[in-house]
Amino acid sequence: MTKIAIVTGSVRPGRQSLTIAEWVKAQAAEHAAAEFEVVDIADFNLPVWAEATPPSWGAPQTAEGQAWSAKMSEFDGYIFIVSEYNHSITGALKNALDYLGSEVNNKAAAFVSYGSAGGARAVEHLRGILSEMQVAHVRASVQFSLFHDFENFATFTPGPAATEALAPALDQLITWTKAMEAVREGAFSPVGAEA
Ligand SMILES: Cc1cc2nc3c(=O)[nH]c(=O)nc-3n(C[C@H](O)[C@H](O)[C@H](O)COP(=O)(O)O)c2cc1C
């Protein structure tokens, strides 16, 4: 069965990220084509990345980094819960991504974001980062407004439109996740190259 991680994007006390991740998981449970699991970056207590060598040279040296690497390797695709901090993704999510390489290469991703402008600016930054990491990111996404989808900017109140917006993002993610599984299996090796 295809496995999709729903990855939180922030770690602060009182964050919305985990609440929204759990909402996505509840919605996605209706989707029979994959298994979904919330992966909370806060659980891994990742140090600010200070490894001697880049991820492409080998596994992280810290126990926290190794646990994070092993967990992210388990999945075929990812839904990133994207909080917008200073018009970008959080430092915590960027730090967590910097630990990774082969764990996510040739996999697929979708986004659920939030902020005063729906988190759209942060998602655009994340798309650039994931392109460098060879993650195929789908077009359809869900954006929550801090003004309209939260009471007093604090209580998450998604309406039916949110569920409707999530459906095409999930469909595109499953399609591209399956396509990237074939890529990883070598179905599309360059012409003339060894399989
Ligand atoms: C350091 C910081 C910077 C922020 N910068 C922005 C921003 O640039 N644009 C925006 O729409 N919201 C911004 N916000 C508001 C957050 O998007 C909002 O608080 C959101 O709930 C944060 O996600 P979290 O609850 O999962 O931590 C910022 C919040 C923090 C803490």
Tens of pLDDT, residues 76-133: 999 999 999 999 999 999 999 999 999 999 999 999 999 999 999 999 999 999 999 9
| Residues contacting ligand 1 via CB (< 6 Å) | 10, 12, 15-17, 83-87, 115-117, 146
Largest CA distance in the chain: 59
Centre of ligand 1 from the C-alpha of residue 136, in Å: 26
Centre of ligand 1 from the C-alpha of residue 10, in Å: 9
Buried b (16+ CB within 10 A) or exposed e, 76-98: bbbbbbbbbbeebbbebbbebbb
Distance of CA 86 to the CA centre of its chain: 19
pLDDT in tens, 129-165: 999 999 999 999 999 999 999 999 999 999 999 999 9
Residue-range domain boundaries for the chain: 2-184
Q: Closest residue (by CA) to atom 2 of ligand 1?
A: 85
Contacts of 60 (CB under 8 A, 6+ apart): 51, 66, 68, 69, 99
The CATH code that applies to domain 2-184 is 3.40.50.360
Centre of ligand 1 from the C-alpha of residue 97, in Å: 19
Whether residue 195 has pLDDT greater than 60? no
Q: Whole-model pTM above 0.85?
A: yes
